[in-house]
Amino acid sequence: MTLTRRKFIQIGGAAAGGAVLASGLTTRWWGLDADRVEDPGTEGDRVVASYCELCFWGCGVKAHVKDGRVTKVVGNPDHPLSRGMLCPRGAGATGLLYDPDRLRRPLVRTQKRGEDVFEEVSWDAALNRVGEGLLEVKRRHGPEAVALFTHGSGGTWFKHFMKAWGSPNVGAPSYAQCRGPREAGYLLTYGTPLGSPEPIDLANARVITLIGSHLGENMHNTQVQELAEAIGRGAELVVVDPRFSVAASKARYWLPIKPGTDIALLLAWMNVILEEKAYDAEYLARHAVGLEELRAHVADRTPEWAYPITGIRPELIRDSARLIASARPASLVHPGRHTTWYGDDTQRARAMAILSALLGSWGRRGGYVSHAKLSLPPYPVAAKAPHSDKAAADRPKSGGYPVATEVIASGLCDATVSGQALYDLKAWIVYGCNLLQALPDRRQTVKALEGLDFVVSIDVLPAEICGWSDVVLPEATYLERDDDVAAPAYKRPFLALRQEAVPPLHDSKPGWWIAKELAGRVGLAEHFPWKDAREYVDARLRAGGHDVARARETGVVLGAEVATCEEDGLAVAIPTESGKIQLRSDELARLGFDPLPQYYPHEEPPPGQFRLLMGRAPTHTFGRTVNNRLLAEPYPENEVWVNADVAQALPGFAGPLEDGERVFLVNQDGARSGPVRAKVTQRIRGDCVYLVHGWGQKAKRLGYANGRGASDSELVTRYAVDPIMGGTGMSVNFVRLERAERAA
């Protein structure tokens, strides 16, 4: 089946009017009336191939430039991740480039930290100030006292700076606040974390099971395209979600599960599949250990057992389990991405991984497949400075959590507050992540920021974190800069180039330039020997034997398709210690954790309160896009989803809550959101409410987004730490609703 643009729009756009566009956005044609708007044409355009940074998926783009302005951004048909199509955010990139609120010149703080009062200074003055601040911290506390928080491909240059500087304290909220538990769960089961793009074969799956994942609203372009293709040729969906998501609307089974009980459902599914001998016995005999322990473990975890826990009727659990098993091995249990929910998230990921093993889908077409990378040697430079204390260098990664594979960003924040000798952090470099919204418990983040000796932010927009910095350095958008080559593992291995389409606006500078200049001021110039990013990238491409001129023209270097699964003749790879899939995890047993996932009940919301759940809209990437006026057209602000029956008689409300009415959300600790419109709907259970993340910004320089909508982050004053890998489960907060006009 050929994927038509209309079909793609149906998958991605139903919730918010978003659309995945085959051509670029220029004015007011956001999918809602896309077919009626004339394409502006491309005659005389200069076209620059690059890759997108409106989120971190990295789709290939072609930027059209006319009279020195980027007029539209379209998908690069040669790029394996975009395949000629962009999601709404990618197509709306000019909304970021020409955002009137962009940081324009370097800023140095003149009042108390957090008061957001700055003066504009020259780059020289700003970089000198940063250099002095960092060197002072190094002199007094050592290089490890500096931490970098980063998100996105542009962070490469600052990670390199940190290696040269000699601090291992480099954290990204994308791990412990997002995909970390999933990485740990699959690592424990299959011996490898999944990484990004996830090595899954949506395109060939015949049944796709989404557990709390709302793919389509969570817009990872390639996966949404493949999901649309799969549905188009008859694949069935099983969607487990307390909310009737867009994906649920396409599903054979929507299981509106009680939040926090997914592990019980997974155990019951395994019970059915094992009881009915619907698993892949031959595959398991070849590849797995622990089947009999698993069988005994789930023997009494029947659908009848799970019903009162999950709220899903036994026959529905049985029927959905049978559908899932019927398509094996092309039955894909999607691993999800944002997986930090309740603090037992690694165990839930383990349960999903074990279920996938019962289906024989690891290493099989339509399941989990193998990806490969193209050769790209590093630039020849001695980048790594010796850490002053090797042990300290290694410790941040685990942070006391034995299966952590990356640094725990929230751990760096906590350590800053506690002043633990382990980190003893005194300075933060923050690249492109608004820590006030990215980390749980804003009070803790503020406390950390107040206690630091020095904070510098590098950003495109004046996010709230900038107001808490001593120096703010304005970065050019991805359309105005070169960056490192993207070299992800993929089923068709490729390299992608980021290339400047137009020179940086205002007095902004590319990240590579900022890092290099900073290195020069702290005695590390020899670690940045290249003239510019282009020279650096070309050297790497040449060293890998790639055609530089062609890469610059097309924006991509394509490798040959590789064998990805057993059906292609590739042996199933399981790099665990035993070389087998660990249905029972010996490693977890050794560490004192349950070797097989157990269901433990979670605290439930008291009467009159609701569990706060968060998610994504196809038009937005957390807070990074909420000030984008183009993206505001289809999705101007978030809404709180409230069950329609519950809305009839909310405590403290005289009369029903009306759809569109504004309310405040107040959590169990008294934290209060800004006023937010209620979406009163039958599409969500009555024991929870739901917000799209990223809104409710408190950044006075964000002319559009400041104060608009409600911030879920502000309401996450408590979290449950996953003891296995350190993730912060954030769906453990409860809120009540107050009518806006009655609020104090």
Q: Which residues bind ligand SF4 (CB under 6 A)?
A: 52, 54-55, 57-59, 86-87, 89-90, 219-221
How far from 402 is each of 191, 329, 389, 407, 416, CA to CA, in Å? Answer: 15, 32, 20, 12, 21
8 Å CB contact between 427 and 453: yes
Place of tokens 């249905």: 583
Let me know how many helices (H) and strands (E) the chain has, helices first.
Answer: 24, 26
- 3-class secondary structure, 153: helix
Nearer to ligand SF4 among residue 519 and residue 632 (C-beta): 632
Residues 6+ positions from 670 with CB-CB distance below 8 Å:
none
Q: How many CA atoms lie within 13 A of 622 on its CB side?
A: 21
Cβ closer to ligand SF4: 245 or 621?
Answer: 621
Q: How far apart are CB 221 and ligand SF4 at their closest, in Å?
A: 4
> Residue 219 or residue 403: which is nearer to ligand SF4 going by CB?
219
Least separation in angstroms between residue 51's CB and ligand SF4 is 7
How far, in Å, are 471, 653, 657, 707 from residue 660 at the CA level? 41, 15, 9, 17
Rounded least distance, CB 54 to ligand SF4, Å: 4
Of 47, 38, 35, the C-alpha closest to 74 is 47
Nearest residue to 616 via CA among 303, 337, 306:
337
Q: Which two tokens stand for residue 324?
A: 């899932």
Which is closer to ligand SF4, CB of 219 or CB of 439?
219
In the block, residue with structure tokens 């609020």: 743
- Nearer to ligand SF4 among residue 93 and residue 210 (C-beta): 93
For residue 585, the minimal CB distance to ligand SF4 (Å) is 33
Spatial distance between the Cα atoms of 668 and 612, rounded to a whole number of angstroms: 11
86 vs 588 by CB, closer to ligand SF4: 86
For the bound state, the minimum distance from the C-beta of residue 178 to ligand SF4, rounded and expressed in Å, comes to: 15
Q: Nearest-CA neighbor of 429 among 128, 163, 147?
A: 147
Q: Which residue is nearest to ligand SF4 (CB)?
A: 90
Measure the CA–CA gap between 64 and 71, rounded to whole angstroms. 6
Q: Which is nearer to ligand SF4, 80 or 360 (CB)?
A: 80
Of the candidates 20, 352, 453, which has an alpha carbon nearest to the alpha carbon of residue 216?
A: 20
CB count in 10 Å sphere of residue 581: 27
Residue number with CB closer to ligand SF4 (24 or 106): 24
CB of 95 to ligand SF4, least distance (A): 12
Beta-sheet pairing, 207-211 with 331-333? parallel
For the CB of residue 40, give the shortest distance to ligand SF4 in the complex, in Å. 20
Smallest distance, Å, CB 55 to ligand SF4?
3
Nearer to ligand SF4, 81 or 164 (CB): 81
- Least distance in angstroms from the C-beta of 7 to ligand SF4: 17
The residue among 396 and 694 lying less far from ligand SF4, judged by its C-beta, is 694
With beta carbons less than 8 A apart as the criterion, state whether 335 and 264 touch. no
Nearest-angstrom CA–CA distance, 55 and 391: 35
Rounded to whole angstroms, how far apart are CA atoms 368 and 48? 34
Three-state SS annotation for 424-457 = CCCEEEEECCCHHHHCCCHHHHHHHHHHCCEEEE
**Which C-beta is closer to ligand SF4: that of 89 or that of 736?**
89
CB of 249 to ligand SF4, least distance (A): 21
Give the nearest distance from C-beta 175 to ligand SF4 in angstroms: 19
CB closer to ligand SF4, 90 vs 709: 90
Distance (Å, whole) CA 659 – CA 657: 7
Residue ranges of alpha helices (H) inside 452-578 are 464-467, 511-521, 533-543, 548-554
CB 387 within 8 A of CB 143: yes
Task: Give 137 or 461: the residue with its C-beta nearer to ligand SF4.
Answer: 461
**DSSP state, 208?**
E
Helix (H), strand (E) at residue 720: strand 720-721
Residue whose CB is less far from ligand SF4, 90 or 180: 90
CB of 88 to ligand SF4, least distance (A): 7
- Least distance from C-beta 35 to ligand SF4, angstroms? 21
Strand partners, 340: none
Q: Any alpha helices (H) in 607-673, and if so which ranges? A: 629-632
How far apart are CB 617 and ligand SF4 at their closest, in Å? 12
Tokens representing 33 are: 């009336």
